[in-house]
Amino acid sequence: MSAQLPLALRWPAHQRFESFVDGGNGAGLDLLRRAARGDAHDRVFVAGAVGSGKTHLLIAACAEAVAVERSAQYLDLSRLTGASVDTIRRFGGSDVLAIDNVDAVAGMPEAEHALFDLHNRCRAGGSALLFAASGPPASIGLKLPDLVSRLSACAQWQMRPLDEATRRRIVRELGAGRGLELDDAVLDWLFTRKARDLGSLVALLDRIDQAALAAQRRVTLPFLRQLLVEPGA
């Protein structure tokens, strides 16, 4: 899959502001929504751990921009290969540019310079720039001081993690939407033995859903142990 999502997959319907459980992140959603619509803050930097929902929000912002007849592009720097510099330099030309996983190019001089040039070029052209990374600009290993300075000048939002009760509720509701009944014992087992960030849990739920459908089985503890507790699971 290319760094820029194919047109048909660019704005998946489940990744919208309305479907994001803010969990205390309402102010961050507002920053991104207003930037996407051109109402305020033409530069936003969102920091958060893996699975905290940054990608969901960047794609939601792109969809929001398109909904108000603005053009938008999304670039995931973690998907770039050796041609990353050329890809970054070709990016741009839209009203809204969402650049995900900025930390993926940290310590790569040519890519950092390309990102710095992209920032300056797009800012001069009036584009709104939305960035996301695992931490604030100064903490993710970027070596180019001017790039750190430009990114630090963005409106900043640090994603607040969802508490366990909220994550359990979301997983239960997502399961119900797939026709899966997840009782407390099943949720206890999942949250005790598997990754507990929401992104990992949703990916795991997709795997469970597919296996349960193929086996025509209810999701029970014996079924989960058979599916997940095995070499390489």
What pLDDT is stored for residue 121 in this prediction? 95
Q: CB 99: neighbour CB atoms within 10 A?
A: 25
In CATH, what class is 7-158? alpha beta
140: Cβ contacts below 8 Å, ≥ 6 apart: 102, 103, 106, 133, 134
What pLDDT is stored for residue 20 in this prediction? 79
In CATH, what class is 164-228? mainly alpha
Residue 214, both tokens: 């193929």
Residue 16, both tokens: 């919208």
What pLDDT is stored for residue 202 in this prediction? 76
Q: Report the candidate in 14, 37, 34, 38 with the shortest Cα–Cα distance to residue 26.
A: 34
Give the pLDDT mean for 18-33: 86
Q: Could you tell me if 17 and 37 are in contact, meaning their C-beta atoms sit under 8 angstroms apart?
A: no
Distance CA 227, CA 128 (A): 45
CA 2 to chain CA centroid, nearest Å: 16
pTM of the predicted structure, to 2 decimals: 0.76
220: Cβ contacts below 8 Å, ≥ 6 apart: 186
pLDDT 10s digits, 102-155: 999 999 999 999 999 999 999 999 999 999 999 999 999 999 999 999 999 999
* Burial environment of residue 26 by CB neighbours within 10 A (0 to 12, 13 to 18, 19 or more): exposed
Q: Could you tell me if 170 and 196 are in contact, meaning their C-beta atoms sit under 8 angstroms apart?
A: no
Q: CATH 3.40.50.300 in the chain, residues?
A: 7-158
Distance CA 89, CA 111 (A): 9
116: Cβ contacts below 8 Å, ≥ 6 apart: 144, 146, 147, 150
Q: Report the candidate in 101, 90, 85 with the shortest Cα–Cα distance to residue 142.
A: 101
Q: CATH 1.10.8.60 in the chain, residues?
A: 164-228
